[in-house]
Structure 1
Amino acid sequence: MTILAAGLAAVTLAVLAARLWWPFDLLTHFRLQYLAAALALLLLAMAAGARPAAVLLVVVLAVHGWAVRDLWLPRGDPPLAADALPLTVFAANVLAENPRPEAVVAAVRDKRPDIVVLVDARGARWREPLARLGALYPQAAPDTWAAAAGPVVILSRFSIRHERLAPRTADRPPYLLTTMTIAGRAVTVVGVHPTSPEPFDGRDSHARNRQLDRLGRHLARIDGPAIVAGDFNTSLWSPHARALLRAAGLRPAAAGFGWHATWPLRPALARVPLDHVLVRGPIAVTDFRSGPPVGSDHLPVAADLRLEKAPADRT
């Protein structure tokens, strides 16, 4: 019992030192699993009278419990006027090799979101599904979306005034940045998919961290409301993801709505939250949910938002 408690405590120390070494950062994504393991071991330690192990496990529980508190605590959204515009954002890493692209089309039709962010809809198999989805939305980006040529596709019911597609490099984040006119406001809507870290090679972890850092600095230079969605290839417990939130003034839409892990699909007990919707400015979140499966190794996510209308747009 003491050995197990000490092992879990050692992992917890590694998580707290995640900025020092990239393998430690990989451990940050399993906070809820550590919490569950510590609780189970604590009950066993108490039953066995193993007091030193129990004390150590209480400390571990406190550390991870504090880290995941935002999953269930009340939100801190700004107060909005009663006529704030409701809108839904749907984001999914659909997987280029997805054997069931029709499931993605069905999920979008079912949820009827106002903004759709699709990651990894690449290759010939996605041309027909994208065409079907494009028929539902008057606006789409990038210009090459119909050819399924980009890493991120954004479909929207709102007018897209500007778009910028950035390819992935080791230092620059792959993203599709658009400016939409929503409720009389210019709203920045970004779809992202940074590099996926490898478990035995730190180069991709370092590349992802640089990409997140550059994205945060870029968004910090853009004024006004923002919505950032996609597969971030990190949980928000990573210090590098936290740095992105701070730099760009972003808030996770999932905060306050419980546990919504998205990858891997199996085993479910190892699932962690890598897909996010982040918001900034006069935007409130009324609901956040994940799923259902769409043939990918990621679950999609959807956020119901309310955007404060521009003063000139109110009636």
Structure 2
Amino acid sequence: MAALALLGMLLPLQRAVLPGDQGLSWALDLFAHWQPWYAATWLACSLLLASTRRRWLLALPLVALPWFTASRPAAQSAEPAQLTIVIANVNIRQHDPQALLQWLREHPANIVVLTELSPAYAQRLAEAGNGGFGHALLHPLDSPPGLGILSDRPLMEPRLHADTLGALYLQACIDLLGQPLRLFAVHPKPPMAVRKFKARDSLLRELAGASDQATVIAGDLNATAWSSALYAAQQHNVRRVTGAAPTYPSEGAGLIGIGIDHVLVSPQLAGSFHQRGPNIGSDHLPVKVGIRWQAAPANVGSRQHCRLLAE
């Protein structure tokens, strides 16, 4: 058991040894997600074995491996957030937004990214005035690719795109203190086959590739902090604001599972905080983050620049 736990903790290192999107990389990446469980198993085995062979105490520091192999977090700032973003996978079978809207009333946000947005859920949102958000970009479907963005500021130059397998992502531009900020709402397909693994990693690599422009990528990425997908984004210096705590499944108050709902930001931005929300009737827990500019921006007229960036 101890050997398997150690092997599991070493799996994220395969990204350096086996870069790319080959079948073996896919298989190893699937098992790399479960780092907290591998670490907990290693800790338990080491303590148990140390009761008879004290030299096993020397192995205890290896329990920290997952903290070193996780994708690197974005820069952090102690200053207050200038923009708060919520990600909520609302589950295609869930049609009542009241739990989410109640949480948002108690913990306001500027932007809400919705994944697995169904027509029934979107209709109930509309009946509730979209939770008081003045701007909405919704593309509900009777299938998991449905997406939406709620915003307290205009969503300029909106675009709807699809990846190579038909998974959708939304693009819009918003104004943040006079500067344009490009926002992607993303939900790639779960990587349960090699082609889906390739499509997920390729999409995040493509979106992160234009990180010379201020960019936020938010949604259910179907990837943990140890996934090759976040490593692909990191290669373009796009890093996560979110932590590694489980967001799926919501059962067990988030004590078990994996963290696959993320906000990634380009180098122009820093994180101020991140937290998980309560159970909103979905199989995912929502996530809320705060971000801000790394440096004080100059007002350059975001509407003009948003058009240029979107074309």
Is 1:233 paired with 2:222? yes
Determine which of 248, 252, 268 is the counterpart of 2:240. Answer: 252
- The CA distance in 2 between the partners of 1:61 and 1:148, in whole Å, is 40
| Percent of paired sites with the same residue | 25
Q: CA deviation at 1:302?
A: 0.3
Query: What is the match of residue 282 of structure 1?
Result: 268
Determine which of 247, 250, 258 is the counterpart of 1:262. Answer: 247
CA RMSD between the two structures: 3.2
TM-score by length of 2: 0.81
> Secondary structure at the residue paired with 2:104?
helix
Is 1:294 paired with 2:277? no
Unmatched 5+ stretches in structure 1: none
> Secondary structure at the residue paired with 2:183?
strand
- The CA distance in 1 between the partners of 2:36 and 2:5, in whole Å, is 13
Is 1:122 paired with 2:118? yes
Query: What is the match of residue 309 of structure 2?
Result: none
TM-score by length of 1: 0.80
1:231-284 Cα distance to aligned partner (Å, 9 max, x none): 00010211232112223x2121125xxx52101123555311100111124322
- The CA distance in 1 between the partners of 2:217 and 2:134, in whole Å, is 20
Determine which of 26, 36, 61 is the counterpart of 1:32. Answer: 36
Query: What is the match of residue 61 of structure 1?
Result: 63
Equivalent residues of 1:184, 1:309 under 8 A apart: no
Equivalent residues of 1:228, 1:279 under 8 A apart: yes
Task: Report which stretch shifted further, 181-190 or 237-246.
Answer: 237-246
Is 1:17 paired with 2:21? no
Query: What is the match of residue 8 of structure 1?
Result: 5
1:146-169 Cα distance to aligned partner (Å, 9 max, x none): 999972101111222211111354
Q: Kindly provide the amino acid, as one letter, of the partner of residue 127 in structure 1.
A: Q
Equivalent residues of 2:87, 2:219 under 8 A apart: yes
> Secondary structure at the residue paired with 1:39?
helix
Task: Report which stretch shifted further, 184-193 or 277-286.
Answer: 277-286
Unmatched 5+ stretches in structure 2: 19-23, 302-311
Q: Kindly provide the amino acid, as one letter, of the partner of residue 278 in structure 1.
A: L
Is 1:152 paired with 2:130? no
Q: CA deviation at 1:110?
A: 2.1
1:47-74 Cα distance to aligned partner (Å, 9 max, x none): 12174x666x447425334225968xxx
Query: What is the match of residue 48 of structure 2?
Result: 44
Query: What is the match of residue 310 of structure 1?
Result: 297
Q: CA deviation at 1:196?
A: 1.1
Query: What is the match of residue 139 of structure 1?
Result: 135
Aligned counterparts, 1:75-114, within 5 A: 76-77=75-76, 86-98=82-94, 100-114=96-110
In structure 2, relative to structure 1, the CA distance for the partners of 1:186 and 1:103 (3 Å cut) is same
> Secondary structure at the residue paired with 1:48?
coil
- The CA distance in 2 between the partners of 1:6 and 1:208, in whole Å, is 27
Determine which of 209, 233, 241 is the counterpart of 1:220. Answer: 209
Determine which of 155, 165, 185 is the counterpart of 1:191. Answer: 185
In structure 2, relative to structure 1, the CA distance for the partners of 1:132 and 1:304 (3 Å cut) is same
Equivalent residues of 1:231, 1:276 under 8 A apart: yes
> Secondary structure at the residue paired with 1:17?
helix
In structure 2, relative to structure 1, the CA distance for the partners of 1:167 and 1:213 (3 Å cut) is closer
In structure 2, relative to structure 1, the CA distance for the partners of 1:178 and 1:100 (3 Å cut) is same
In structure 2, relative to structure 1, the CA distance for the partners of 1:125 and 1:157 (3 Å cut) is closer
Q: Kindly provide the amino acid, as one letter, of the partner of residue 65 in structure 2.
A: V
